[in-house]
Chain A
Amino acid sequence: MWGIFLESVAIFKNYMGYYENGYLAGIFLLALLYLWMTEKDKCRRALLVYVPTVLLALFFCPLFRKAFVGILDDSGTYYRILWLLQMSIVSAYAILRLCRRHPRIGAAAACIVIAVCGNYVYDSQHITPAENLYHLPQEAIDVADAIDTDEGAVMVLMPEELIHFVRQYDTNIWMPYGREVLIPGWDYTPELYLEMERSEVIHTAALTEKASEYFCSYIVLKEDRKTDEPLTQYGYVLQNNVSGYLIYRNQSLSASAEDEGRMHSTNLSARSSRPASLK
């Protein structure tokens, strides 16, 4: 039980940005304390004081956590209980209540405190200027456009930096593996992925052999990716060079083999189906 409690404390600290000097949790807890002492309106007290307090108590309660994880069969999303606190609403209301005599001065000061204690969302390394209306990397779109999917779905071996994006643009591009290989906790690393990404110099023979097991019609490689032998020696032809990516087409694969590949992929993919939760 103590261990479960400590895990909940760690989740709470992670959520509140304790390790990254985020102090909005401090504002919220002070706001909650202040409302405990001053809020007299019954409904507001119930909603903005009692409910968050009970939620926090439940969040740290080991028995509750065991029940929660048991019911939802998922421990990775336990932090979402903290969404119910609605920290912003409680904090903003308490700030205005506290600064009731001089709300404008109080709000100006509060804005500064929020900016200092919080973390500017647009500073995130994951937020970058959009390159197109899809909000996808332009090279992913260029590569997808260079692959012929008019006849139906084709199996394409993609470099890992593109696998998040190409199917958001064109679902007729199938892949032998997808995002699941990039999530450390999911422990799915097929041999093809190891051949494609884990060695400094790609062993072409091994790569093409594994790719043929998945009936890949195309292999896409970054332009500067080194191979011990050219892919053209293994039945592939360089079809295009777009946005720094070389697109090789497997000439030896017949249409019936491609169909078989899709069936095969279904079975392989079903085996590597994703875990229950998305973080």
Chain B
Amino acid sequence: MLQVLGLLFWLLVVPFCIGLLPGCRMDGDKKTPGFLLLAGYFVMWAAFEVVALPCVIFLRQGGFAVLSMVFMILAIALAAVGAVSALRRRGRYGLCIGLPIGGMPWPERIEWLLFLALLAFQLYRAAAYTSFDGDDAYYVVESLLAQRTGMMYRFLPYTGGSTALDTRHALAVFPMWIAFVGAKSHIHTTILSHFVLPFVLIPLSYLVYYEIGRLLFRLPSGKTAGEDVRADQRAGRAAKGKDAAGEEIFRRENLPIFMILMAMFQIFGNVSIYTNETFFLTRIWQGKAVAGSLVIPAVLWMVLWIYGETSPKHNTADRKHNAADQERSAAGGESDGADKKHRTADGRRGGNAGMWLLFVCINMTAAVCSSMAAFLICMLMGLAALCVAFVRRNPWVILQMGLVCIPNAVYMLVYVLLRK
């Protein structure tokens, strides 16, 4: 029982409360519980990297104990600050707890049920079936070694002999996070990896796909997706919109269909052992699988989120919105004045800090997962920055995304220095 409570605390309560922290600096419609949990995980993993890397590199003896202690304090402090900040804002925080199923037509409900059935099927297969993978002899054993010996990356996982630091794998500290959760929950890390973590990481990945879908099937006008849903619920109809070319494709009811298609691609994506879909459903507890299925899509999500809503047309709508806001403030509108910071620029200036913090943390999570993923993410960021800057005719995009990559650049510098 204590083990279950420990798992709930470290895999649900702490990440959720940490997610409240960047949520304080974002506009309201994003703050669904799923989004906050997702954001909390990325912030938590980034914080873990900051604590874990010095411990792995500099502490040969007892490094895991130091890491566990420091990270436990840090994680609980972050969670507490997040919870207190959210409580202080209370009504103004804008947490969307209610599910938007009230105004949802039955066909759409059935589609969501179909998707949930596919997700439940994947979770059932993850729990009831074992997937053999040779790399577990490395990653899972590294977690167990840390839990049992208190030393990190100082034993050969295959055989047991002691060894020098294997820089390439030691700097990707995802197995140490598993060891941390295992140690704090008093649960064997192999059970944690093979049985428990799929229940966390598979839904988390679908949360990222859901967020991407929300952006892909939103109304590309000045309104945000959450506003669309609420407005549509009030009107008792499904949302419809038009894309930049005037085509009628962005229906909210396409979101569950998108999720069903994503689930089908995952289930039937095993065209070879190399695809990220295969990694996703057969070894999601390994850092590289998390990188392929969670972190890389999360980068696409963030780029869509940040740069997908700032078209010139959109900015015009923002300016009109702001002008109206200022007029109301000048007339003594109390609520607008009090909430001004969160309402400017389509409610997104208040959201900028949290959004950029989350983007940085997602980048750092790549390095937690695998040293190669840090390189791949930088490459993706660079390409995306160039392409978005090109289509938007805005070179500042390159600078903005370059700044986001700084932690990964530092990571790669450390990696190169240690490899020499």
Contacts and interface: CB of A to CB of B under 8 A. Distances in A.
A121 B276 CA distance: 12
A257 interface: no
A41 to B, nearest CB: 5
A66 to B, nearest CB: 15
B244 to A, nearest CB: 5
A96 B190 contact: no
Interface residues of A, number: 99
B388 A17 contact: no
B282 A126 contact: yes
Given A14-B272, A97-B249, A134-B190, A129 B308 contact: no
B216 interface: yes
Interface residues of B, number: 97
A46 B383 CA distance: 9
Contacts of B134: 164, 179, 182-183
Contacts of B106: none
A83 B276 contact: yes
Contacts of B191: 133-134
Interface in B220-251: 220, 243-245, 247-249, 251
Interface string A22-45: 111100000000000000111111
A77 B390 CA distance: 30
Contacts of A178: 137, 156-159
Contacts, number: 304
A42 B130 contact: no
B249 A96 contact: yes
A267 interface: yes
B51 interface: no
Interface string B291-311: 110001100100110011001
Contact of A168 (B137, B162, B169, B244): B137
Nearest to B312: A42
Contact of B265 (A23, A114, A175): A114
Interface string B143-173: 0110011000001111111111010110000
A135 B383 contact: no
The winner among B111, B144, B159, B376 for most chain A CB atoms within 10 A is B159
Q: Which of A115, A136, A268 has the most CB of B within 10 A?
A: A136
B163 A270 contact: yes
B271 A118 contact: yes
Interface stretch (B79-87, B255-263, B342-350): B255-263
Interface string A105-145: 00100110011011111111011111101111000000000
B338 interface: no
A79 interface: yes
A46 B391 contact: yes
B48 interface: no
B194 interface: yes
Interface stretch (B38-46, B56-64, B121-129): B121-129
A48 to B, nearest CB: 8
Nearest to A126: B132
Contact of B220 (A41, A50, A129, A169): A41
Contacts of B375: 71-72
22 contacts: A43-B391, A46-B387, A47-B388, A72-B375, A80-B372, A84-B376, A95-B261, A100-B249, A103-B254, A107-B261, A121-B270, A121-B278, A123-B270, A128-B132, A134-B190, A167-B137, A168-B141, A171-B141, A172-B148, A174-B161, A177-B158, A179-B138
Nearest first, the 7 A-B pairs at minimum CB distance are A178-B158, A22-B271, A118-B268, A17-B271, A269-B161, A174-B160, A135-B194
